[in-house]
Chain A
Amino acid sequence: IVMTQSPATLSVSPGERATLSCRASRGVGSRLAWYQQKPGQAPRLLIYDASIRATGIPARFSGSGSGTDFTLTISSLQSEDSAVYYCQNYGAFGQGTKVEIK
């Protein structure tokens, strides 16, 4: 299975909404996770089963979708959200979306 993320880079002003997309090459039900990775750090699990926030993840992060098309939304971007975001289904990761603060 191949996971494709878009866009490669997203530039968003603080307080604005950021919308990241992930597409699976075939249907995966709701078996999808999102991770955040900041420079020099290990990734952190944000969302699993497409829409369930992991422990300690702020409510501004939300996930949606099923089948082949998924979305990660950051409702009001904060400066600390600048990072690369990856989607994942089992052994397949997307190539990542870099979120930059305008």
Chain B
Amino acid sequence: EVRLVESGGDLVQPGGSLRLSCAGSGFTFDIYWMSWVRQAPGKGLEWVANINEDGSAKAHVDSVKGRLTISRDNAKNSLYLQMSSLRVEDTAVYYCVRDIPGGASYFDAWGQGTLVTVSS
């Protein structure tokens, strides 16, 4: 069974930092692109970042560039999102997602999400 389990969400003050983690199991982690998708409370879905199989290629949505950084450790079957200079508008549930092979960014496996709340 494919499983993605996120952790690290918390309440943090504006300007603060946080590191989200995602543990993958039940599949060969290092042959998949992976992404983070977030959802603000009561709102729609927003793609945040993706990373290729070996971590050599990354992309981030403009609104988070320079503040949120995606990375992975294939030896640990883990995906990360390093978050700094957090803003109130970063408040959301963050989902770790697996991309279908083929490069079209279709997300066929989702974690349960971890909540990040940015508030003073």
Contacts and interface: CB of A to CB of B under 8 A. Distances in A.
Interface residues of A, number: 21
B24 interface: no
A93 interface: yes
B44 interface: yes
A26 B61 CA distance: 19
A43 B45 contact: yes
A31 B104 contact: yes
B108 A42 contact: no
B104 A93 contact: no
Interface of B: 44-47, 59, 61, 95, 100, 104-108, 110-113
Interface of A: 31, 33, 35, 37, 42-45, 48-49, 54-55, 86, 88, 90-96
Given A48-B106, A92-B47, A93-B45, 20 more contacts: A31-B104, A33-B104, A33-B107, A35-B45, A35-B107, A42-B111, A43-B45, A43-B110, A44-B110, A45-B108, A48-B100, A49-B106, A54-B108, A90-B47, A90-B104, A90-B105, A91-B47, A91-B59, A94-B44, A96-B44
